[in-house]
Structures are given as C-alpha cells and as structure tokens.
Amino acid sequence: MSAPEIRRISAVETRGLRHTVLRPNQSPNMVVYPGDEDVDTVHLGAYTSGRLVGVASLYREPPPDSLRTTTAWRLRGMAVDKTLQGSGFGAALLRACLEHALQQGGTQVWCNARATAMGFYRSLGFSQKGDPFELPGIGLHHFMWRTLESSR
C-alpha cells in the first residue's frame, strides 16, 4: 500500500470517521468537539486513492494539570478506518500533527489515549502519566504526552 496523502481538512470532514470509529453508539453530535472551529486548530486527513481513511485534530490547549501554556497541543479525535488500522495511516497522521505543532513553536503534544491504542502511541514516542481513567460511554483511557524537539 502506498504512503497516504496527508492534507488539511475541515472540522466537518472529520466527523464521519470520528463517529464511525470512535463513537459509533453515540449521537453524531458527540463528535463535534469544543475548539473544532478555533483559529489555531488544525484538522488533518489521510487519503488513499482519493478516499479519506484517517483523521486527526490538533488543538492549542494546555494539559489539564499544567500552567496555562501556549506551547502545548492536544491531539484529539484521531480515527482510522477500521479495515486499515495498522497500515501506517495513523502513524503518518500523527507524525504530521507533531510536525505542525513543532512548526508552531509547540513543545509538547498530549492526548487522552484509549487503552487499546497505548502501544501505538508508545511506538511513536509518547509516554504515559498517571493512572488510567474511564471516560463514560467511551472506555478506559490514559493521559499520554510527548516532548517535541527541533531537529535543527
């Protein structure tokens, strides 16, 4: 399978995969997230053969336990078509998100990762902090983060 094309998309374009993959048993309005339309927020899509197969959103948002910093970014709503998970689309999306945050002066990217996705995030340099927690209606999650370093 060839490398996916990663490009910016609108918040609205993320919602089909967010709903199908992340919250299939919830109302579609549950995938409309606070900050989706903020000027700093970026939504990325992974395409193969012209089809959107993965989405990820990045918000300029400090982690819950930190001082109000503008150099942290939150990864949220990351979803890859279930039939293509493990094919590199998620990794390509996440790398593009990390690069965007770094280009914007970001020093950290964090997320609330599903327990089932911890291995994926660890393989891309994320660390776990704190105890697992339950998000009602969604499942067990872990706070994960990664420090960004410029290669310059």
Residue 26 lies in a domain: yes
**What one-character-per-residue DSSP string does 31-69 give?**
G--TTTT-TT-EEEEEEETTEEEEEEEEEE---TTS---
Residue 152 lies in a domain: no
**Domain residues for 45?**
5-147
pTM of the model: 0.91
What φ, ψ does residue 75 adopt, rounded to 5°? -90, 130
**Total domains present in the chain:** 1
We report the CATH number of the domain holding residue 105 as 3.40.630.30
Per-residue pLDDT reduced to its tens digit, 61-95 = 988 876 566 789 999 999 999 999 999 999 999 99
